[in-house]
Structure 1
């Protein structure tokens, strides 16, 4: 059972914060007992009471399941004894009910233990993610932003999606990316890239130099993991590096390392920024020239929407991909206010979950950022 399915089931079995998991097995217990008592000897179903602890094992705790198992055994004895000897179900069915209750209690204990382990793993994954993705205020370094990370429902494993905003004396820089693969190795690689970005993004005057530092650090990290004998030394990462220069508020600088092209979303529509003409980080030594620096016009009312491939590769039941640009275009055309970062991120998140039926094939990150209205780019900046 995936983490998403587990949370949905828990919500269905609670009303106003209280568990009602005991209700279905109780109703089944009452139904079987009443039917057996109010029908003729030709329709004896008291042995069906073995289903009661079986149902409880799937949705109740261990003690509740054990209680239903004991209640089923006692009820079987009482109800069966109320019939004449020739119509009693007898010892064989009694053994069935008793053994079924014991096995149901054991199954409930195994299920509860597994669920606790899953929750523990999820907590570890969430703690790891928060260690890598530091919390940011909604308005930071002259930028208004919003982001959401959705873990894929596959074995509760963490992935390598990452994003950050770094203010500095040369303007505010933004990095959004996705490390190839999953697991702690991918998170480690994301942490390495973010650490380099936070230093280089602050100190380096040119965005192209920040990009070079990221590429060199990625290659060093791959060589290090290979030297340790690990099998993930050939990792790479797609990413988009953005710069918001102080002296030109109508322009955004962008370097794309093979990532999904950002969308500029505003009241006048949606347009795609230049595509990923650069190779992913870690593969830069395959070409002589580095990735191209693009300077793109960026209106004050526009929001940049950046996503990882968990969004664009989300599939519906028929196998169709999520139409990100079309969905965002329709949403903004109906209400230009949806270009606001929080609303935009919420719209894309809900759209992806609805399109995929809640089953994500990959970790999914949605990040939106724009210049904060009425705030200069230096506000909130960290000064040395």
Structure 2
């Protein structure tokens, strides 16, 4: 245990002082014991070691015949002052640690509410997701994703709120809530996207106060629909990085012919939400991601080559693919991202695959 370090130090200094000539006093070195204790222990244990140190100094003072002298008084005062200072620092450190634990708990709870865990299986799809917040100790940021089951199949959204701090989290929560509500109304994909645009634009205008400020905040998003009975994907891309499909070891980027503007800017551009359709057959894996992935840089400033890295794990299932990408992305940036990043891997299963899927 770490407590043996200051106790051992007190013992060593005491023995050395006894063995040293009477003209040599090593007891002033005992002040190191409470200092070391405060580096790993709380204020109570630090004070206890400080008291033990003071008692030991008195005993050594008796042995060295300096009891009642100014020298011994100064040694005891020095231990008292140092102990009080480091014990106070330990108290503040413990309070900050408790506050940090509470922040983590709140952050985790907020993540569960805002970014509900995606089901592992929804219809003929197997889903896996990963979220990496750039802010240290945070669990959520401005990136978002969600899935909704509808009569015709499955709808998904992935997006990135371009606001900062709490505003971006608020915008992400607003968009996800609007997506879940609008999806239940079974409106068309363009109608769903238009509804999301209206919700985001209205909220941004209310929160920022002016149209000019609202222009500085917007949400890039890709809204998708995957029918159960057709091997296709319908996509409306609102200024978001294009999805990728992994098929037979090849990576295909699903570029939109006419992308719509980001959500929140529709009032300026009067967008038309054109639906792009792409092939999505059994065995294919669809990867949705935010720009925090493709804009991640290594120490040399090189962007993360997502399409190239995906091909390395062409034979993996969606969950394993994301595990590899997660580890590889963090290795690329040296362990810390400069922006939030989110990824979803969706694998279309054979129609006869049981609900639990293959092992």
Q: Please, which runs of 5 or more residues in structure 2 have no aligned partner?
A: none
Task: Say which of 45, 54, 79 aligns to 2:35.
Answer: 54
Q: Cα offset for 1:155? A: 6.7
* Larger displacement relative to structure 2 (304-313 or 43-52): 43-52
* Greater C-alpha Rg: 2
Q: What is the rounded CA distance, in whole Å, between the counterparts of 1:92 and 1:99 in structure 2?
A: 10
2:243 aligned partner: 262
Q: 1:248 to 1:56 in 2, by over 3 A?
A: same
Q: Cα offset for 1:153? A: 3.3
SS of the counterpart of 2:90? helix
Q: 1:317 to 1:139 in 2, by over 3 A?
A: same
Q: Cα offset for 1:75? A: 3.2
Q: What is the rounded CA distance, in whole Å, between the counterparts of 2:331 and 2:16 in structure 1?
A: 43
Task: Say which of 45, 52, 62 aligns to 1:64.
Answer: 45
Task: Say which of 228, 231, 240 aligns to 2:222.
Answer: 240
1:353 aligns with 2:330: yes
Counterparts of 1:1-384 in structure 2, within 5 Å, are 20=1, 22=3, 25-26=6-7, 28-29=9-10, 32-33=13-14, 46-79=27-60, 81-83=62-64, 85=66, 90-154=72-136, 156=138, 158-227=140-209, 234-249=216-231, 251-274=232-255, 277-330=259-312, 332=313, 336-337=315-316, 340-374=317-351
* Larger displacement relative to structure 2 (347-356 or 314-323): 314-323
Q: Cα offset for 1:103? A: 0.8
Q: Cα offset for 1:26? A: 4.8
TM-score by length of 2: 0.84
Question: Retained in 2: the 8 A contact 1:160–1:190?
Answer: yes
Q: Please, which runs of 5 or more residues in structure 1 have no aligned partner?
A: 1-19
Q: What is the rounded CA distance, in whole Å, between the counterparts of 2:156 and 2:3 in structure 1?
A: 50
What is the aligned length? 353
Q: 1:310 to 1:54 in 2, by over 3 A?
A: farther
* Larger displacement relative to structure 2 (288-297 or 37-46): 37-46
Q: What is the rounded CA distance, in whole Å, between the counterparts of 1:375 and 1:194 in structure 2?
A: 32
* Per-residue Cα deviation, 1:123-166 (whole angstroms, up to 9, x for no partner): 11221221122234311233211112233234748422221111
TM-score by length of 1: 0.79
Q: 1:23 to 1:126 in 2, by over 3 A?
A: farther
SS of the counterpart of 2:129? strand
Q: 1:307 to 1:66 in 2, by over 3 A?
A: farther
Q: Cα offset for 1:22? A: 3.8
Q: What is the rounded CA distance, in whole Å, between the counterparts of 1:161 and 1:365 in structure 2?
A: 7
Q: Cα offset for 1:109? A: 0.6
* Larger displacement relative to structure 2 (342-351 or 28-37): 28-37
Question: Retained in 2: the 8 A contact 1:316–1:356?
Answer: yes
SS of the counterpart of 1:120? helix
* Per-residue Cα deviation, 1:65-119 (whole angstroms, up to 9, x for no partner): 2333333333333345544659x96433332222111111111110100111111
Question: Retained in 1: the 8 A contact 2:146–2:157?
Answer: yes
Question: Retained in 1: the 8 A contact 2:148–2:183?
Answer: yes
